[in-house]
Structure 1
Amino acid sequence: MAFTLPDLPYAKDALAPHMSAETLEFHHGKHHKAYVDKANGMIEGTNLADASLIEAIRAAKDQGNKGLFNNTAQIWNHSFFWQCLAPAGSTRASGKLKEMIDSDFGGEQALLEKLATESVNHFASGWGWLILNNDKLEITSLHDADTPAVHGMTPLLTIDVWEHAYYIDYRNERPRFVKTVLENIINWDFVAQNLDGKGLDRADQQQTASATA
């Protein structure tokens, strides 16, 4: 049994010019795939060989298995991140989501600025998050591969601030990368869908029979 690299929900060039096909080829096709391959190697022959991705993440955390935690958590984080993106102008915050943004942040621009500040100022590698907490929108960040799956968080939106997310298109300019992504290619329909509290499930996966089995 093995975890798989999920397909992108859009063509590799669909997010250009804000995120290039080359970035997706490396970020999804190499970095994300590497986490999948490493996690599969660690799980093979263990009692987690039939576990779901979230089950494996939580078991690794409980067991203090940092290598397995880092790789499985990064599979989940990236799988969620890809769904948070969409071609420019294809979705907009509306309905209940827009009402909550207006109520909790005073408008979409204020939300984006606060999330950008949190993400840009996060020291070293990690993830900026918009989460739902007691029917309120909140912004936070998590270090390295850490994930909402082990903190009881209800994830709505994330932005990857590992350097591999932006080094091809933006070199070392994390602020420009974050601002560009947040203002142009967020999938607000996906964010709104996650208000149902099922965001964790949307990046979970069951293992499938491996090609070598």
Structure 2
Amino acid sequence: MAFELPKLGYAYDALEPHIDARTMEIHHTKHHQGYTNNLNAAIEGTDLKGKTIENILINLDMSNAAVRNNGGGFYNHSLFWNVMKPDGKGSLTGELKDAIITAYGSVDAFKDAFSKAAATRFGSGWAWLCVHKGGKVEVCSSPNQDNPLMPGVGCGGTPILGIDVWEHAYYLNYQNRRPDYITAFFNVINWNEVERRYAEAK
């Protein structure tokens, strides 16, 4: 079965004023659709067809640029849409909050670390909150459409929260003000979904 562009659980304008509707529509229907189409083309006729995207990325041959770039783009954006919600959803609580405080000392210190990882990623890429087996969490970043599921990328572990810092994710609204976009992102995080992913991955 071919990969399909996932539907959003909210309207394109639902994240305004933090992320504008035009950016969301272009990002979803053009960029993510492009990664989806190109991933399907890259795996057609290979033994990768029929495997889950996670299985493909964990066992990825990093020299396969078509699968690396488009498989990463497909996975990263699929996570990105799901960890956002209009005006956020829920608050950071429970075991995930405890793990973040254990790792970073406080929630604010975690936010600073995550924001720094996103702001200082040179050029295009992503910042991540990942969980390792046993529940330890760690912030890191990766270039282009790479992610920590891939061999040797970032901090390893399973991404449970990610922010896209490619310019196409924010330029219409924020231009060169990436830090303002990163700050706005915290207003739309779906913590219920992030906590679900934490419980599943740890």
TM-score normalised to structure 2 length? 0.89
Letter in 1 for 2:197: N
Tell me which amino acid in the other structure corresponds to 2:195: A
Give 1:198 deviation, angstroms: 3.4
Are 2:131 and 2:201, in contact at CA under 8 Å, matched by a contact in 1?
A: no
What's the counterpart of residue 168 of structure 1?
172
* Distance in 1 of aligned mates of 2:120 and 2:62: 31
For the pair 1:126 / 2:129, whether they are aligned, the reply is no
Task: Give, in whole Å, the separation in 1 of the partners of 2:98 and 2:67.
Answer: 39
Residue 115 of structure 1 and its aligned partner are, at CA, apart by: 0.5
**Aligned mates of 2:147, 2:55 — CA distance in 1:** 13
CA distance in 2, matches of 1:89, 1:185: 4
State the Cα deviation string for residues 3-35 of structure 1 (Å, max 9, x = none).
100011222111111011111101111100000
Please give the residue correspondences for 1:1-213 in structure 2 after superposition, counting only pairs within 5 Å: 1-58=1-58, 61-62=60-61, 64-133=63-132, 134-151=134-151, 152-182=156-186, 184-198=187-201
> Size of the alignment, in residue pairs?
197
Deviation at 1:136, TM superposition (A): 2.2
Please give the per-residue CA displacement for 1:82-127, whole angstroms capped at 9, x wherever unaligned.
1111111432101222222333323222211110011100111111
What one-letter code is carried by the residue in structure 2 that aligns with 1:96? Answer: E
SS at match of 2:61: helix
The two structures have a TM-score, normalised by structure 1, of 0.85
Q: Residue 154 of structure 1 contacts residue 197 of structure 1 at CA under 8 Å; is this kept in 2?
A: no
- CA RMSD between the two structures: 1.9
Identity of aligned residues (%): 40
Deviation at 1:58, TM superposition (A): 4.5
**Distance in structure 2 (CA, Å) of the matches to 1:104 and 1:47:** 39
Higher relative contact order (CA 8 A, sep 6+): 1
Give unpaired runs (5+ residues) of structure 2.
none
Unaligned runs of 5+ in 1: 200-213
